Amino acid sequence: MPLRITQRECTSGCGEGAKAHAQNSETVLKVEGCLYVGDAELLEKICRDIRSETGHDLTLDLADLSFLDSESASVLCRLKREQGVALEGLHLFIAKVIELTEAEAIASEYRPKSDESPRRPESLEPTPRLRIVR
């Protein structure tokens, strides 16, 4: 199923779960279909453009999302964390995928980088006990 994104503007209560106040406008993007990583990155760019053009708060309505892979979930977590985008209408499975992806992102911050090999402190390095003198 192809991805479909529908935009609507809300000014005072967009419906159930909406956070908009009378003086604060909000843009809601309804996302339907299968969300793959390429589509998720496009959605991230769309959110960035809408926020810069309008200054509105953004909400993604994911109630009609039928598929989400882990890479796309990572992009949604980044949207939530870096741009403050609200995610609404999550089905239990999709909510769990996003929750696990967020936990993985937090845990990865504490892991050593792959190019950094763990080194022993110099005090624990073996010191040579024999010296050959000629």
Over residues 37-65, the mean pLDDT reads 93
Over residues 62-72, the mean pLDDT reads 90
pLDDT of amino acid 17: 47
pLDDT of amino acid 122: 56
Does the pLDDT value for residue 123 go beyond 60? Answer: no
What would the DSSP string read from start to end of 50-83? Answer: HHHHH--EEEEEEEEEEEE-HHHHHHHHHIIIII
| SS3 category, 36 | coil
Length of the chain: 134
The CATH superfamily of 4-108 is STAS domain (3.30.750.24)
- pLDDT confidence tier of residue 13, bands split at 50, 70 and 90: low
Over residues 99-116, the mean pLDDT reads 78
Does the pLDDT value for residue 22 go beyond 60? Answer: no
Over residues 89-102, the mean pLDDT reads 84
Does the pLDDT value for residue 81 go beyond 80? Answer: yes
Pairing of strands 86-88, 57-68: parallel
How distant, in Å, are the alpha carbons of 7, 43, 60, 103, 116 from that of 32?
A: 12, 12, 10, 25, 42
pLDDT mean across residues, the chain: 80
Over residues 75-81, the mean pLDDT reads 90
Is the CA virtual torsion 91, 93, 95, 97 positive or negative?
negative
